[in-house]
Amino acid sequence: MFPPVNEQMDIIKRFAVEVFPEDELFEKIEKSIKQNKPLRVKLGCDPSKPDLHIGHSVVLRKLRQFQDLGHKAILIVGDFTAMIGDPSGKNKTRPSLTLEETRINGRTYLEQATKILSKENLEVRFNSEWLNNMNFADVIKLASKYTVAQILERDDFSLRYRQGMPISLHEFLYPLAQAMDSVAIEADVELGGTDQKFNLIVGREIQKAYGLEPQSIVLMPILEGLDGKEKMSKSLGNYVAITDDPKDMFGKIMSIPDELILKYYLYATFPNPLESEKFEEGLKSGLLHPKEAKIQTAKKIVALYHGEEEAEKAHQDFEKVFSKKEVPDEVETLFLNVANKVQPLVDVLVATGLAPSKKEAKRLIEQGGVYVDGSRVCDVYMNLDISTRRLIKYGKRKFLYIQSG
């Protein structure tokens, strides 16, 4: 039923930054084969931001691999922990949410996650199930298992402490709460991004403290955002959402700096060894042009979420709009219900929602970023007759047909 240990280890280790303790994991897999019992593989998710992007997909794909090996994926929706708000990475305390909010977000998360995960071998648990039932004595018992010095080892805590940034006391409880999840579901393995290393290790310690066998840890790389500087995140706006439409997905990936191409190719698509070797060598030798490499990457990613056909279309569109400066195949038509068919262009731009304000619209016109029917607008106070259909290009990539009616 299960593939042999070595084969499993190879698959698990591929694309992972760190897998430890390796020998423990090896034994666990051996045991699971012998007893014909799947491993319980935990992945925590944060429902405070339910929109998944391809940064999340890295770890989700890894979890999927575990599923494909016959193991049980246990997705923990951190509805309770989201109320605390993991400060990880950011030096700011996150706003906490109510339980209901996190529940709703959790559903959205799940919906998106199953674009990558299999629905079989999948168990979904909300951590309020156990965390919400702990009383103060339970919390004290849990907190007594860890020391201030230990918790301060966490990079971002010590950094914030040194910089005089605020750390609320409850933030210290976050890693402990997350560790309780591992206790509650008796995780054999926990997956996470490298930024989760500390939390996952606390999980091991706390499991031991509660008389359980400590989980093994698989750390996946963190995908940088489109800017190539910060980690991909929604709040930074440097992300590719897995629900993005093909065009956006394609375009966004084309905008990554060249240095990021390989990383995206590998971690967002999990190519097989043959493919990745070819790709890597092509890049290194220069036989594969960076633009071409990017196109391949973009196509592959789009295809994962939308299929080959859409990927091809997105590619065509991209070439059209950006290389040939033409109009894309499909442009939406907006009918404006207005009394006057001739109006200042600026007003039209605001009415369509293309521009957030007249000032902004004027600015863009002044800078030569607005086209009507293919010709650049140079008069800020131009009037536009919309009794017939007009094509507006606003900025680099917003196209819209507009007509009164």
Partner RNA sequence: GGGCAGGUACCGAAGCGGUCAAACGGGGCAGACUGUAAAUCUGCUGGGGUAUCCCUUCGGAGGUUCGAAUCCUUCCCUGCCCA
Site residues (vs RNA, CB under 7 A) = 161, 164-167, 227-228, 237-238, 247-248, 250-252, 254-258, 289-291, 294, 318, 322-323, 346, 350, 356-360, 363-364, 367-369, 381, 395-397
| Strand partners for 372 | 375, 392
- Residue 227 C-beta: closest distance to RNA, Å: 5
Our CB check for RNA shows the closer of 134 and 350 to be 350
Our CB check for RNA shows the closer of 267 and 394 to be 394
CB crowding 254-263: b at 16 or more within 10 Å, else e = bebeeebbbb
Helix (H) or strand (E) holding 349: helix 345-352
- Residue 243 C-beta: closest distance to RNA, Å: 15
- Residue 342 C-beta: closest distance to RNA, Å: 13
Our CB check for RNA shows the closer of 212 and 380 to be 380
- The tokens describing 274, both together, are 């043959």
Rg of the Cα atoms in the chain: 25
Our CB check for RNA shows the closer of 111 and 366 to be 366
DSSP 326-353: ---S---EEEE--S-SEEEHHHHHHHHT
- Residue 399 C-beta: closest distance to RNA, Å: 11
Our CB check for RNA shows the closer of 31 and 289 to be 289
- The tokens describing 317, both together, are 């569109």
- Quickly tell me which residue has 């190519």 as its tokens: 271
Question: How far apart, in whole angstroms, are the C-alpha atoms of residue 232 and residue 253?
Answer: 12
| Strand partners for 19 | 218
- Residue 304 C-beta: closest distance to RNA, Å: 17
List, in sequence order, the alpha helices (H) in 231-329. 246-254, 261-269, 273-285, 290-306, 308-318
Our CB check for RNA shows the closer of 33 and 254 to be 254
- Residue 90 C-beta: closest distance to RNA, Å: 11
